Amino acid sequence: MKPVPPGAGRSYFIADLHLTDERPAATGRFFRFLDEIVAGADALYILGDLFETWIGDDHDEQVAHDTARRLKALTESGTPVYFMHGNRDFMLAARYATQSGMTLLADPQVVDLYATPTLLMHGDTLCTDDHRYQAFRQRVRRPWVLAALRLLPFGMRQRLARQARAGSESAKAGKSADIMDVNVQAVTQTMRAHRVLRLIHGHTHRPQQHPLMLDGQPATRWVTPDWYARWGYVVCDAQGCTLVVSPL
């Protein structure tokens, strides 16, 4: 009898791994997660910020090449991998998606998860109290801006990414914790607009299962953890979802 792979009958959701050559432990953890937990799964959904930065599909970190190889092997073994952009890796495009066998998803995206319509988002668009970030996001995510950025030489894109990172770090230092979390009204409005009772997102680095009432019906918002000091995921099957987070 063939052994049943660990992920059979389940779908996995991760976000905010922030992979970079500077933190090899997280990369190792991610590859073990693929081998020991996800193998044989129905699907793996990456809900953004897989990479710490992404300046274009000519991104030259070793972790980018290794990740493409691992994800390609996973998809070839029969587990589809879906990728949604985060605020760090929104420049990831079709070339890298093809190399790694990933299917790009729009943000937001509703998927049918074992007969439960489930809304998937990175989560940054729910942080509507952070007006400065939302204005920045709107500027850089315009199709013509993205197209123009892609035409810039590698070195210039590298410098721009460093500047954007530094700007975001100093802005974050001046923002309250509340401003950087999701706005509860934005959550209910978005779930209502998409007619779902389940939302899974990342971005805030606040892993949690949030029960809520939506027009008299029980609903749930699942938040995936970051992979900085800890790691973890949301896993769903026909019975429901579970949040799994390693100790810090």
Residue ranges in contact with Mn ion by CB under 5 A:
49, 86-87, 203
Q: Least distance (Å) from Mn ion to the CB of residue 3?
A: 37
The residue (of 87 and 118) whose beta carbon lies closer to Mn ion is 87
With CB atoms as reference, the residue minimizing the distance to Mn ion is: 203
Q: Least distance (Å) from Mn ion to the CB of residue 88?
A: 6
Q: Least distance (Å) from Mn ion to the CB of residue 51?
A: 11
Q: Least distance (Å) from Mn ion to the CB of residue 87?
A: 4
The residue (of 44 and 121) whose beta carbon lies closer to Mn ion is 121
The residue (of 15 and 97) whose beta carbon lies closer to Mn ion is 15
The residue (of 71 and 182) whose beta carbon lies closer to Mn ion is 182
The residue (of 27 and 125) whose beta carbon lies closer to Mn ion is 125
Degrees (nearest 5) of the Cα angle 97, 70, 243?
Answer: 90
Q: Least distance (Å) from Mn ion to the CB of residue 82?
A: 17
Nearest to 38 by CA among 194, 240, 236, 225: 236
The residue (of 61 and 89) whose beta carbon lies closer to Mn ion is 89
Can you spell out the DSSP letters for the chain? -PPPPTTTT-EEEE----B-TT-HHHHHHHHHHIIIIITT-SEEEE-S-SBS----TT---HHHHHHHHHHHHHHHTT--EEEE--SSSTT--HHHHHHHTEEEE-SSEEEEETTEEEEEE-SGGG-TT-HHHHHHHHHHTSHHHHHHHHHS-HHHHHHHHHHHHHHHHHHHHTS-TTTTSPPHHHHHHHHHHTT-SEEEE-SS---EEEEEEETTEEEEEEEPPPSSSS-EEEEEETTEEEEEE---
Q: Least distance (Å) from Mn ion to the CB of residue 42?
A: 25
